[in-house]
Structure 1
Amino acid sequence: MRTALFDPMIAVLIIATLLALIVPATGGAREAAQDISSVSIFLLFLVNGMRIARGEIVRAAANWRFFAPLLMFVFGVMAVFGLGFAKLAAIFAAPEIALGFVFLGVLPSTIQSATSYTTLAGGNAALSVIGAALINIVGVFVSAPLFALLAGSEAVDLGPDTLVRIGFILLLPFAIGQLLQGFTRDWLLARKPKIVWLDRTVIGIAVYVAMSGAVGQGLLSGMSAMTGLWLLAITAVFMLIAYFLAWHTARLGGFGRGDRIAFLFAGPQKSVAIGAPLAAILFAPEIAGFVIAPLLIYHLLQLLVAAPLATHLSQGEPG
């Protein structure tokens, strides 16, 4: 219960951000940090390919009645709302930060939190595991093109160089992991607590590098306390609307309570594990930190809200 109620990822994100604010990587150090981040991301997606069972993907494809609405919610409803909130944020925040809401909207959900909180809430854990895995696999292929479509070519150039980087750093290691999982998956599952820290470390590195670039471009001087409060408030509203819509979308779909809980935690949650590495590939270092600012706030908020929400649901409310 203690693990579910406190996620160490909160500490990792805060520490990585504070380090970037206090001791940002600049000059040659930033280039070295970027190289370390790229290698770490490659390793993370290699491990992801090893541990997401191919059988889960097959079972997900068979349960289209649940997963089709879930995918439409994650990459349709959330993406459209992200675009709308970007226009709202542009009123008071820098364009790069406002753009971060579009980026936030197109990202997949987080596997570990979705399954942990679904289990804690008494939901359908099997559906949550398969659903979150499926969403993340689809997200690797869909999130970047969808972002380019919504944000426009001026926001990100999905040219040959970018596509090659996505393929080499994200898709290639995942494919290799899928091929190797017959030999490695049991070994990884037996060491799950240690592997989880690989996730957190890679995310921390990616966030540190991105935020260092933003600090170098005047993140602190360019964002007032009032702007930060507005950003926090709008991100919180975005998240609350997402949770509300996810629960009632599942209700309208006629799903049972356990399936609605799985939908709730697999749908509106957003993954910094995909977002931070993808931002490192899509955006220049001096922009990436601004773009992921809404994602970092959203991720921290969802970690703070998900545990008490799951505990509340485990008590039988709401119906």
Structure 2
Amino acid sequence: MALMKFRPDNFTLMLVATVLLASFLPATGQVASSFEVLTTAAVALLFFLHGAKLSRQAILAGIMHWRLHLFIVGSTFVVFPLLGWALKPLLTPLVSPELYVGVMFLCVLPSTVQSSIAFVSMARGNIPAAICSASASTLLGVFITPLLVSVFVTAHGASGSFVDAVGKILLQLMLPFALGHLLQRWVGPFIKKHGKLTKVVDQGSILLVVYTAFSAAVVQGIWRQVSVQTLVGLLVISAIILALALLLTTFLSRRLGFSKEDEITAVFCGSKKSLVSGVPMAKVLFASSTVGMMVLPLMLFHQMQLMVCGVLAAKYAKRAQLAEKEQLASAAAGK
């Protein structure tokens, strides 16, 4: 039963299948161009649906808890990049300088929204603050991630300047998001009624981006550059970065005197990286031939963070249940 906690989820299995499909049947020529257009449309639809789904109340909920939000933003956009940069001399020999650029891209991405909130809820943390922080991280990532890419990654395949990168993200990602939010009054009820629609577009758009990215990468010879030994090295790098992020967020949140609920929110929102935001951003920021190399570390890290955080959330929840039982027992004894 313990091993079942670490079983890959269905979406991860679909990601693996998509990479295999692109490896044996890559899209080329006109087919590749058609997939590029379809992928761009799917990503735009994804952000439109998220804009229509996310209420202003959710965005503003818990906004007064500024210390917690600053902590999570700092962990996401300061601690993570510094970790990746500081560990580069130690970890680069495990992969290659080119692939470690993908690790640095992982480090500058925003936090997740859905899974962070789900884990905070499961662990009995501060859910309104988690909604606010995770949503803010995604929105801030539109501006901060391209800036950090220009600092850490621009010499290795990022296309254009910081201004160009922000412009592309605003046009291709945030404009659909804003339109969806403006039309929320009319389309919001339909989207809430058909909740699976967002999940299908979520996963479908990522699978399309992964297929087109790895098709281009296969044509460029990615599997001649990425051996089994390199994949093992990437797993080790992901484990080290995730472990350090979890340890630092836990230690610092306790030193800052956060409550247990706020600590849970800080740990889960401050240690995660978004596949949903990262894959479309990679498509916008990098040349088609390099996108596969950029998102490979993110895909491995994504699965690892889900498995580890799932186990950690269960432990937090069990601790909370024991504390409640002790309180009830103390109250009963005092009567």
1:223 aligns to 2:226 (yes or no): yes
Query: Paired residue for 1:303?
Result: 306
Question: Counterparts of 1:246 and 1:7 in 2: how far apart (Å)?
Answer: 26
Question: Counterparts of 1:170 and 1:140 in 2: how far apart (Å)?
Answer: 9
Question: Counterparts of 1:68 and 1:198 in 2: how far apart (Å)?
Answer: 31
Query: Paired residue for 2:331?
Result: none
Deviations 1:173-230 (A, max 9, x none): 1111121122222322222233212101111111111122221221112222222211
Task: Please say which structure displays the higher CA radius of gyration.
Answer: 2
Query: Cα offset for 1:92?
Result: 4.1
After the TM superposition, which residues 1-319 of structure 1 pair with which residues of structure 2 at under 5 Å, given as runs?
Answer: 7-153=9-155, 155-159=157-161, 162-316=165-319
Matched-pair contact (CA < 8 Å) for 2:158–2:286: yes
Gaps spanning 5+ residues in structure 1: where? none
Query: Cα offset for 1:6?
Result: 6.9
Deviations 1:253-284 (A, max 9, x none): 21111111111111111111011001011111
Question: Counterparts of 1:51 and 1:266 in 2: how far apart (Å)?
Answer: 20
Query: Cα offset for 1:60?
Result: 4.7
Query: Cα offset for 1:46?
Result: 0.9
Gaps spanning 5+ residues in structure 2: where? 324-335
Query: Cα offset for 1:131?
Result: 1.6
Question: Counterparts of 1:311 and 1:197 in 2: how far apart (Å)?
Answer: 27
Which residue type is aligned with residue 194 of structure 1?
L
Identity %: 30
Question: Counterparts of 1:76 and 1:201 in 2: how far apart (Å)?
Answer: 31
Distance 1:245 1:271, change over 3 A: same
**Number of residue equivalences:** 318
Q: Say which SS state the counterpart of residue 110 (structure 2) adopts.
A: coil
Matched-pair contact (CA < 8 Å) for 1:203–1:276: yes
Matched-pair contact (CA < 8 Å) for 2:165–2:284: yes
Question: Counterparts of 2:51 and 2:124 in 1: how far apart (Å)?
Answer: 28
Matched-pair contact (CA < 8 Å) for 2:65–2:129: no
Distance 1:49 1:236, change over 3 A: same
Question: Counterparts of 1:269 and 1:61 in 2: how far apart (Å)?
Answer: 20
Matched-pair contact (CA < 8 Å) for 1:272–1:295: yes
Matched-pair contact (CA < 8 Å) for 1:82–1:106: no
Question: Counterparts of 1:154 and 1:96 in 2: how far apart (Å)?
Answer: 7
Q: Say which SS state the counterpart of residue 305 (structure 1) adopts.
A: helix
Question: Counterparts of 2:299 and 2:206 in 1: how far apart (Å)?
Answer: 11
Query: Paired residue for 2:333?
Result: none
Distance 1:27 1:93, change over 3 A: farther
Matched-pair contact (CA < 8 Å) for 2:112–2:276: yes
Distance 1:105 1:177, change over 3 A: same
Question: Counterparts of 1:307 and 1:20 in 2: how far apart (Å)?
Answer: 30
Question: Counterparts of 1:191 and 1:301 in 2: how far apart (Å)?
Answer: 29
- Which deviates more from structure 2 when the two are superposed, residues 86-95 or residues 26-35? 86-95
Distance 1:76 1:232, change over 3 A: same
Q: Say which SS state the counterpart of residue 315 (structure 1) adopts.
A: helix
